[in-house]
Amino acid sequence: MHREDFFQLIDKWTNGTASEEELQRLMNYYHSFPEQEWDNDKMGSRAELEAAMEQELLSAIRQPAPVKVVRMRPWLRIAAAVTAVIAVASGITWTLRQPTAPASTEAKPIAYRTVATEHLRVALPDSTIVYLSPNTTMEQGKDYGRNDRTVTLTGEAFFDIRADSKKPFKVQSGQVTTQVLGTSFNVQAYTAQQDIAVTVLTGKVAVSSGVQQVECPPGNRAVFNKQSGNLLHETGVDTRWILEHQQGILRYDRANLQQVADQLGYYYNVKITISGSTASCSYVGEFNTRQPLDKALKQLCLTLNATLEHQNNTYYIRMNGC
C-alpha cells in the first residue's frame, strides 16, 4: 500500500465513510508491520506510535462527550487508524457516540476475546490492566466501577489491579471466585482444563468456591479441581513463568509430554493426543504462542523423534522412542 492510499483510508475511517473492504485493507496493513522494516523517516518513532495508539484508544473508550473532529498530525493519524484496526482485529465492538444523535445511557457488558496466537492488553475503566492469553474470553459487567468491579473469565489472564479498598476486584471463573483489593495475579481457567489455578505474584488474594476459601500471598497458588470440587493451597510456587506468559512464551523444564500437549491445546483451541510410550520422555524447551501451532508441534516432534499427523481439529503425535 502506498503512503497516499494509506492516509486516504485513515481519513475515511475518521469521518466514518470507510467501507468494510477498506477497513480490512487497513487491518491487513497493520498486521504486516512486524514483517516490514520500520521506516522512521516515513512513520516516526515506533515507540511513540505504539504509545499514541494506546492513548488514542483509551481516550475513545473513556471520553463521555461527543468526539470533536480535529486535524491530526500525520503520525497521530497513523495511530488512530491502527487503533481502529486493533479493535476490529481483536473482535471488540466499540459504540461511538455521534454528535447528531444522543447516545443511550444504558450500560451494557463488554466482552473481550482472543483467538489462537493472539495476546491482548486491556485497560479497564478503573485503570486495572489485564493481559489476555490466546483463546480467552473476559466479560466486564455493565455496572463495573460503579457498584462493583467484577469480571468473568474463561481461559487465561494476568491481572494488575488498581487498588480500591471500597470496591474489591473479583474474577469469576466457573465455580471459583477470586477477590482482591490491589495486587497482581494470574488465572488459568480454560474450559478443557481439569483444574482452575490462581497464582499470586504480588499482594494477597482470597480464592473461594462454595464454603471453601484459601488466602494466597505472593508465591502461592490456589487450585480448584473440577472433578472432585476440592480447593487446594500450594506454596513455594515459581512465578517466573507468569511474566513470560504475558510475552507469549511457554517454557518447560523436564515437563511431562501430555501436560505440554494439553497446554498447547488450550492456547490454540485444538486437541493434541500422544500415542506410544512416554514413560521415559520429558521436554525441555520453549514455544512462542504468537506463532502458528504447526511450528510449535514440528519443533516438539523433532526434539522427541516423533511424527505428526493432523485430522480435522485433532493433532496426533506418534512416538518412536525418546
Domain CATH code at residue 283: 3.55.50.30
Residue 149 has what pLDDT? Answer: 93
Give the residue from 89, 118, 145 where a domain finishes: 89
Give the residue from 222, 241, 260 where a domain finishes: 241
Asked if the structure places residue 94 within a domain, the reply is no
Residue 11 has what pLDDT? Answer: 65
Asked if the structure places residue 257 within a domain, the reply is yes
Contact indicator for 316, 301 with CB cutoff of 8 Å: no
Find residue 312's DSSP bridge partners: none
Contact indicator for 296, 287 with CB cutoff of 8 Å: yes
255 and 303 belong to one structural domain? yes
Dihedral angle over CA of 146, 148, 154, 157, nearest 10: 80
Q: Report the alpha-carbon distance of residue 274 to residue 168 in Å, rounded.
A: 43
Q: What is the pTM of this model?
A: 0.61
259 and 299 belong to one structural domain? yes
DSSP 8-state assignment for residue 315: E
199 and 315 belong to one structural domain? no
Asked if the structure places residue 100 within a domain, the reply is no
135 and 219 belong to one structural domain? yes
Q: Report the alpha-carbon distance of residue 104 to residue 97 in Å, rounded.
A: 9
Q: Report the alpha-carbon distance of residue 261 to residue 257 in Å, rounded.
A: 6
Strand, helix or coil at 255? strand
Asked if the structure places residue 151 within a domain, the reply is yes
Q: Report the alpha-carbon distance of residue 170 to residue 188 in Å, rounded.
A: 15
In this structure, are strands 184-189 and 176-180 parallel, antiparallel, or unpaired? unpaired
Asked if the structure places residue 297 within a domain, the reply is yes
Q: What is the residue range of 55's domain?
A: 3-89
Contact indicator for 182, 200 with CB cutoff of 8 Å: no
E strands, the chain, in order: 110-113, 120-123, 129-132, 137-140, 149-160, 169-173, 176-180, 184-189, 195-202, 205-209, 212-216, 221-225, 231-234, 249-255, 271-275, 283-288, 306-311, 314-319
Asked if the structure places residue 129 within a domain, the reply is yes
21 and 79 belong to one structural domain? yes
CB neighbour list of residue 169: distance below 8 Å, 6 or more residues apart: 128, 149, 150, 159, 161, 162, 179, 180, 181, 182
235 and 255 belong to one structural domain? no
Q: What stretches of the chain show up as alpha helix (H) in DSSP?
A: 3-14, 20-31, 40-43, 46-62, 74-89, 240-246, 257-268, 293-304
192 and 176 belong to one structural domain? yes
Asked if the structure places residue 153 within a domain, the reply is yes
254 and 237 belong to one structural domain? no
14 and 48 belong to one structural domain? yes
- What are the average pLDDT values for consecutive 10-residue runs of the chain, which has 322 residues? 62 65 60 50 53 44 38 42 38 30 57 92 91 94 86 95 89 93 89 92 92 93 94 91 85 87 92 82 88 89 86 87 68
314 and 277 belong to one structural domain? yes
Residue 71 has what pLDDT? Answer: 40
CB neighbour list of residue 259: distance below 8 Å, 6 or more residues apart: none
185 and 278 belong to one structural domain? no
For residue 149, give Cα distances in angstroms to 141, 146, 182. 8, 8, 12
Asked if the structure places residue 39 within a domain, the reply is yes
Residue 52 has what pLDDT? Answer: 46
237 and 116 belong to one structural domain? yes
Give the residue from 241, 260, 277 where a domain finishes: 241
Q: Structural domain tally of the chain?
A: 3
